[in-house]
Amino acid sequence: MQRTKIKDILRNDATDYEVVVKGWVRSFRNNQFIALNDGSCMNNLQVVIDLNTDADIVKRITSSAAISVHGKVMPSQGKGQKVEVIASSIEILGDCDAEKYPLQLKNKPSLEYLREIAHLRFRTNTFGAVFRVRHSLAFAIHQFFNERGFVYLHTPIVTASDAEGAGETFRVTSLPFDNPPRNEDGSVDFREDFFGRSTNLTVSGQLEAELGAMAFSEVYTFGPTFRAENSNTARHLAEFWMIEPEVAFNDLVANMDLAEDFIKYIIQYALDHNREDLEFLTQRLVEEEKQKPQNERSEMGLIEKLEFVLNNKFERVTYTEAIDILLQSPAYKKKKFQYDVSWGIDMQSEHERYLVEKHFKKPVIVTNYPAAIKAFYMRQDDGCAPGKETVAAMDILAPGIGEIVGGSQREERLERLERRMNEMHIPTEEMYWYLDTRRFGTVPHAGFGLGFERMVLFVTGMTNIRDVIPFPRTPKNAEF
């Protein structure tokens, strides 16, 4: 007989039919009631076994043992479930030594402990919910762009460029470490390397996406990106996934509209398709918040927060306005900020969080940042006062997360772009291919990057980015 998924049994009120179910035992009560989970949904299926079941089999029904059950779906007598399976036969597929099983050894394992056993944490309710939501968000992202006629462009993972110019790249090489070929001046001769030049893992697919947008009008990338920034925070990964749409003929306002529609669409998708998971995560958060002092607890529950975001327009302010708000704030006047505020600073997360959580209390799009703190490719604003040059940048800041999206309108004017690259010591000759788009049929265009894990954090209410990617890569950590 074909296996039936637990989700399909529970979702359906029908009874009196035979099934085969397979999964892992979550608990076993009174030598009679098995809570069985196969990952297809949050809830367990209750399996009732015959009291005359072979004692040898009963002994092997331990937590996380894998079993196969043949039985009949019947209305449940007990509380908590409408239907249950009355087993007619049970087969142990894989024993689990409960005395050694790491998840069994701790009563309420902490998220930190579970991070150390990330190879097993999928089997907990929390991580089951988180990774089902992560899946749904990824699927919704493709659906959103597909519905709008975007072309999914696979940009390279190995590149020779540093798109963000921040110098935080991981080198890719096949040269021997101990004795690499050298130039006369002693530097490493990368002409001898695998690609015949110095290469690194990509920090962003944007530059290549721009090339695609100049032919397809609308493209997006969705792939892994890598940054060797040594920030051991709850918001940074060395390997993370980014979604980067790039659209010809869009200006900054159209770019903001797209980003807002996009974020709302994928949140709505999760609410529609992962209700049970989100209800569980909402409850989890309530429990977690109980550990915090009253004044630090969030005012809204998780689902309530997501619905609030859907139903309200994101606030849009310029960087200059944002700085003014900070300078006028009680927090600034009472010297509550650790870092100083003045026009030109790269806002710290305390500043971003003040704007989002205290001042506007909703997602905020900050635009027109100082050119000096942004990447070379952003479109230079016209008519700026000397020393106050800004660019058509947009960052979206989300409550509890901070920056979730970074994007801009791009500098499509060749001379302006070249001048800026020269100022920032970005090699224009090597990047001829990028500049060619500005030489051959250039148009205004814009795009942005959404940090996928930060989005998953926002939707699941988890607080550490290591808990929303299956196998986190962070400084000094690449286990599993």
Using CB under 6 A as the criterion, which residues of the chain lie in contact with ligand 4AD when the complex forms? 163-164, 204, 206, 227, 229, 236-237, 240, 242, 244, 403-407, 447-449, 451, 453-454
> Considering the rule CB under 5 A, would residue 402 count as an interface residue with Mg ion?
no
- We find the least distance from the C-beta atom of residue 406 to ligand 4AD, in angstroms, to be 2
Rounded Cα distance between 149 and 258, Å, is: 13
Nearer to ligand 4AD among residue 40 and residue 408 (C-beta)? 408
Q: Which residues contact 94 (CB under 8 A, 6 or more apart)?
A: 65, 66
**Looking at beta carbons only, is 75 or 400 nearer to ligand 4AD?**
400
Quote the CA–CA distance of 369 and 456 in Å, as a whole number: 26
Closest distance between ligand 4AD and the C-beta of residue 326, in Å? 20
Query: What order do you get walking across the sheet with 445-451 strand by strand?
Result: 151-152, 218-226, 239-248, 445-451, 402-409, 393-398, 364-367, 315-318
Residue 359 binds which entry of ligand 4AD, Mg ion, none, CB below 5-8 Å type-dependent: none
- CB-nearer residue toward ligand 4AD: 40 or 225: 225
Count Cβ neighbours within 10 Å for each residue of 417-448 and write b for 16 or more, e otherwise.
bbebbeeeebeeeebeebbebbeeebebbbbb
Shortest reach from residue 337's CB to ligand 4AD, in Å = 22
With beta carbons less than 8 A apart as the criterion, state whether 170 and 228 touch.
yes
Q: Which residue has the tokens 């940042």?
A: 369
> First and final CA of the chain: distance in angstroms?
35
Phi-psi region of 262 (alpha: psi -120 to 50; beta: other; left: phi over 0): alpha
Handedness of CA 50, 54, 55, 61 (dihedral sign): negative
How far apart are the C-alpha atoms of 316 and 318, rounded to whole Å? Answer: 7
CB of residue 422 to ligand 4AD, shortest distance in Å: 20
In this chain, which stretch among 170-178, 332-340, 379-387, 404-412 interacts with Mg ion, using CB under 5 A? 404-412
Count of chain residues binding Mg ion (CB under 5 A): 1
Query: CA nearest 128: which of 274, 347, 245?
Result: 274
Q: CB 198 → Mg ion: shortest distance, Å?
A: 25
Considering the complex, state which of residue 207 and residue 317 has its C-beta at the smaller distance from ligand 4AD: 207
Q: What is the 3-state secondary structure (H, E, C) of 157-187?
A: CEECCCCCCCCCCCEECCCCCCCCCECCCCC
Q: Which of 109, 370, 406, 451 binds Mg ion (CB under 5 A)?
A: 406
Stretch that binds Mg ion, among 165-173, 188-196, 293-301, 399-407 (CB under 5 A): 399-407
451 binds, among ligand 4AD, Mg ion, none (CB under 5 to 8 A by kind): ligand 4AD
Cβ contacts of 112-120, under 8 Å, gap ≥ 24? 114/467, 115/466, 115/467, 115/472, 118/470, 118/471, 118/472, 118/479, 118/480, 119/480
Q: How far is the CB of 369 from ligand 4AD (least distance, A)?
A: 11
By a kind-dependent CB cut-off of 5 to 8 A, residue 302 interacts, out of Mg ion, ligand 4AD, none, with none
Q: Which is nearer to ligand 4AD, 87 or 140 (CB)?
A: 140
CB of 154 to Mg ion, least distance (A): 23
CB closer to ligand 4AD, 189 vs 257? 257
Decide whether 10 or 421 has the Cβ nearer to ligand 4AD: 421
CB of 225 to ligand 4AD, least distance (A): 7
Nearer to ligand 4AD, 47 or 446 (CB): 446
Which helix (DSSP H) or strand (DSSP E) does residue 298 occupy? Answer: none
CB of 166 to ligand 4AD, least distance (A): 8
Residue 242 CB, shortest distance to ligand 4AD, in Å, is: 5
Interatomic CA distance for residues 53 and 59, integer angstroms: 10
Residue 240 binds which one of Mg ion, ligand 4AD, none, with CB within 5 to 8 A depending on kind? ligand 4AD
Alpha-carbon distance 399 to 192, whole Å? 49
Question: 453 touches which of Mg ion, ligand 4AD, none (CB within 5 to 8 A by kind)?
Answer: ligand 4AD
| Residues 6+ positions from 460 with CB-CB distance below 8 Å | 129, 130, 133, 134, 278, 281, 302, 468
Residue 206 interface partner, choices ligand 4AD, Mg ion, none, CB cut-off 5-8 Å depending on type:
ligand 4AD
Closest CA to 94 of 73, 63, 117: 63
Q: Which is nearer to ligand 4AD, 406 or 444 (CB)?
A: 406
Least distance CB 134 / ligand 4AD (angstroms): 14
Q: Is residue 254 a contact partner of residue 420, using CB atoms and an 8 Å limit?
A: no
User: How many Å apart are CA 32 and CA 72, to the nearest integer?
Assistant: 15
Q: Which does 447 bind (CB under 5 to 8 A by kind): ligand 4AD, Mg ion, none?
A: ligand 4AD
Q: By the 8 A CB rule, do 82 and 106 touch? A: no
* Residue placing its CB nearer to Mg ion in the complex, 212 or 407: 407
C-beta closer to ligand 4AD: residue 359 or 379 = 379
Question: Quick one: angle between helices 275-289 and 452-460, nearest 10?
Answer: 80
Residue 227's binding partner out of ligand 4AD, Mg ion, none, with CB under 5 to 8 Å set by partner kind = ligand 4AD
Residues lying near Mg ion in the complex (CB under 5 A):
406
